[in-house]
A and B are shown apart, each in its own frame.
Chain A
Amino acid sequence: MSDFFIRMLCISYNFIHYVKPSLELPGLFSVVRMRIASSADSSSNNSRSQMIMADSGSSDEVAVICNTDITSTESENNLINTMVERGTALLKKMEISVAEADKRTGKNTVNMQETYTVYLIETRPAESVSEEGTPAAPDTLWRRYSEFELLRTYLLVTYPYIIVPPLPEKRAEFVWHKLSADNLDPDFVERRRVGLENFLLRLASHPVLSNDNIFFLFLTEEKGWREAVLETGFQDKADSRLKSLSAMFRVKNPDKRFTALKHYSEDLSTVISQLLRIRARVADRLYGVYKVHANYGRVFSEWSAIEKEMGDGLQSAGHHMDTYAASIDDILEEEEHYADQLKEYLFYTEAVRSVCRKHELIQYELEMAAQDLSYKKQQKEELETGTVRIFSLKGMTSKLFGQETQEQRESKVAALEQSIQEGEDALKEKNAESQEFVEKAWNDIERFNEQKEKDLREALISYAIMQISMCKKGIQVWSNAKECFNKM
């Protein structure tokens, strides 16, 4: 379920008042629509039966969206409820949201005062209705961004074959000039809040990650969570994995599928970066075009002062020009949602590349183990048959300094046999590990691909809806202005 994008769609619909009764909406969306229409009823049982009855809409229902004033919390709840349909055990149990953001000051690791933002995580049992019919109070705790980072690092290490959902960006990038690149800017903080909530929902809806205990504790245990994470000992695995990831190694028989995936994710990363950069420039230019029109407002007003019959028409037209110029602010603010959707997948490509590299590492280790085993076997063979096939220092020295005794040779063979046995066990283990990794990884990769297709398609749809809304606003304003001109 593409929850994030459904939410964006809902919010867009709210802003846009997009009414097209003839439009065939997909089944999921009509479900959400029904949910919104019955906003007073928070019981998911009722809503589920309503969901079943809902079919792709009549114009009445579509109109309801436009008139219903849904708060973002409500729409988020709606989304979580719809995910229950195909949900994980975790989501069946609880609703999760990142409700607020707040500023704190405290001492950091080097004992200096710093200001940082904390986010309020709310969890609520999924079917919580008290007798009066109001939802029960949620459990809450505060987390800062670095704790989210810790959680993610833990998951990356513990589930190397899983494409772990990315966090929203730490610093604002790809900004167009009017947007602030300041981390403490309220708009940035708000978008980050949304991004963090999305992150948690992605985890909560993941078939594997949602069952992780540390994740559960992250949501429920404010104190002592850090210790719990460190106790898992993931740091050691992390360190060794990190070292090997940064080392240069070459795999002899790379898995073609993983190579293709790696290249695809590199391409995707490049193209999305490009897109985000240019989009920011486009936003800048569009801002300029709209804002200059405010000057028309001023000059029409001044001109109307010296006119008799034309005065009123000019003056009102001038007001519309001001409206036009002001409208770009909201338009571009909305477009930031689209940029955030793209950014999520930009960061996702890193996660994909990370899985590919981990596979490469396992493959490499497997190849090394196999190589090591075959080398040992050859050594044993040599010792047994007395032939020196492999050029080795031992071989040379034995040639120079005489053969070993029978005893020495036998003990060497015995040692080698043991080593070979260990090597075969190790190889079997590595093989199993590799196979398990590949199986789990491809499972997740397929899940990810499906999710990506859906999410990006819906992102494009919501982008198109935004463009249509912008066009409609433009037509509205210029039509109003034209009416005023006609009255001149």
Chain B
Amino acid sequence: MSVGAPRGLASSGQKLITEILHPLSAAEEPLSPGPDVTISAEKDKEPGLTNGTPVEISSPASASVLLSRLQLDGDPEADAHDPFGSGEPRDLFVTVDDPKKHVSTMETYITYRVSTKTTRIEFDLPEYSVRRRYQDFDWLRIKLEDSQPTHLVPPLPEKFVMKGVVDRFSEEFVDTRMKALDKFLKRVADHPVLSFNPHLNAFLTAKDLNKRQGLALLTKVGESVKNVAGGYKLRARPAEFCAMGEYLDTFSQKLGTIDRIAQRILREQSEYLTELREYGAVYSTWAGSEEQLQRPLEGVAGCVTTSCGALEDLSDNMSQDFLPVLREYILYIESMKNVLRKRDQVQAEYEGRLEAAVLRKQEDRTPIPVEVEKCQDKVECFNADLKADWERWQRNKRQDFKHLLTGMADKNISYYEKSQAAWESLITLLQEKQTEDKTSETN
């Protein structure tokens, strides 16, 4: 499919950085038709330029989105239902499922079905279904990072697993990985900037993902941002970015601790389970040598067994659903820190160039070169993007962890409920017998 010139969201992320004009420069960007809507109320949600220029949203699809948002009452509970959204009605739905093993002479690997449903006009069809393997997701992520260096790209589950330690083809591993890939794609699809990236489009629609396809230009640009300004030292990082960095460090540490605690609990539970199984078995043995007490004892053995099963479910859930999400957030935090570092570099370069230019101006009245002003733009755009993404990230994080922790609480409650039900039915049984005996005694 054709990958034309990127259509214009005026935010920096979509345009080539070199093409962005200084907001105060004379030449104006032709604004595409669309309702001229000031969305100052939504400023903190949308990526915008720091000087307050309202953002024109040009694509009709997004315009209708805007319109519907204005028509609907702002829904504060949107987050509760849509953990990945920022409250906008979504027009791009992606799902990862249906893992399949492929065996070839060279290698064995797993592919997943990626299904897309959309009303966006960037897509030729309303529905797509393609098969992708982990490598493809990795490719997509690299491309996204390169082409949107000022934005936070969600993390992927870990790439390498030690062969022999983890079975790459076990149902559990594949299932865990698939859930993480699904989450990755959903987060990307949900991002107001990343979701319009042509690479994502290709990923979702192309029958054969030719990973060497075009867009080399973007790649070069991306590299230029990455390899920016070796040697420029950052003078003064704005306080808010310092705070972000500190927050991420502490948060990452706490998550690491929670991971360790959860693992320890799993270990203890496993040992408890082993003993509990043996314990139940002894009641069965005992029942064998009793007459009147046989049924009660078998009953106790049964309750213990039920509790064992319920405990196993709890442990499985913790290791398959809870821990992976935790670990993924640790990776997310690492990504975030990388983006912060990049930002620092961009700012450092700007400061360095500015200083040099000012000195020269003082010496021989050379005007400040345009490059320096462009650097300033870079910095400001980056800061803006980052702040917007940060807010979004914080919101999502809150939802994700609310979901994760309530899930953990639910699973524990469910475990106790199952166990309680078993014991309660045993009591009924035992006391039935008692009243039977009592009445037969008095008769």
Contacts and interface: CB of A to CB of B under 8 A. Distances in A.
Interface string B417-442: 10110011011101111110010000
Given A285-B275, A478-B412, A482-B410, A275 B293 contact: no
Contact of B261 (A299, A302, A467, A468): A299
Contacts of A485: 402, 405-406, 409
Given A306-B247, A461-B427, A475-B413, A289 B293 contact: no
Contacts of B251: 303, 306
A486 B79 CA distance: 13
Contact of B285 (A271, A461, A478, A481): A271
Contact of B268 (A24, A279, A285): A285
B401 interface: yes
A293 B314 CA distance: 15
A348 B424 CA distance: 30
A433 B415 CA distance: 60
Interface in B274-322: 275-276, 278-279, 282-283, 285-286, 289, 292-293, 296-297, 299-300, 303, 307
Contacts of A23: 427-428, 431
A299 B257 contact: yes
B242 to A, nearest CB: 14
Given A282-B276, A310-B398, A293 B265 contact: yes
A302 B409 CA distance: 20
Contact of B300 (A272, A302, A464): A464
A279 B431 contact: no
Nearest to A308: B394
B293 A456 contact: yes
Interface residues on A, range: 35 or more
Contacts, number: 153
A471 B293 contact: no
Interface string A256-294: 000000001001100110110011011011101100110
Nearest to A283: B275
A391 B264 CA distance: 81
Interface residues on B, range: 35 or more
A296 interface: yes
A463 B300 contact: yes
B250 interface: yes
Nearest to A453: B292
B296 A460 contact: yes
Contacts of B257: 295, 299
B275 A292 contact: no
A178 B15 CA distance: 67
Contacts of B296: 456-457, 460
A342 to B, nearest CB: 10
A310 B431 CA distance: 48
Contact of A274 (B282, B292, B412, B417): B282
Interface string A454-481: 0011001101110110011011001101
B425 to A, nearest CB: 10
Given A457-B293, A461-B427, A468-B427, A278 B282 contact: yes
A284 B279 CA distance: 13
B125 interface: no
B272 interface: yes
A26 interface: yes
Given A278-B275, A284-B275, A299-B254, 9 more contacts: A282-B279, A285-B272, A293-B265, A295-B257, A299-B257, A310-B398, A457-B434, A464-B300, A482-B410
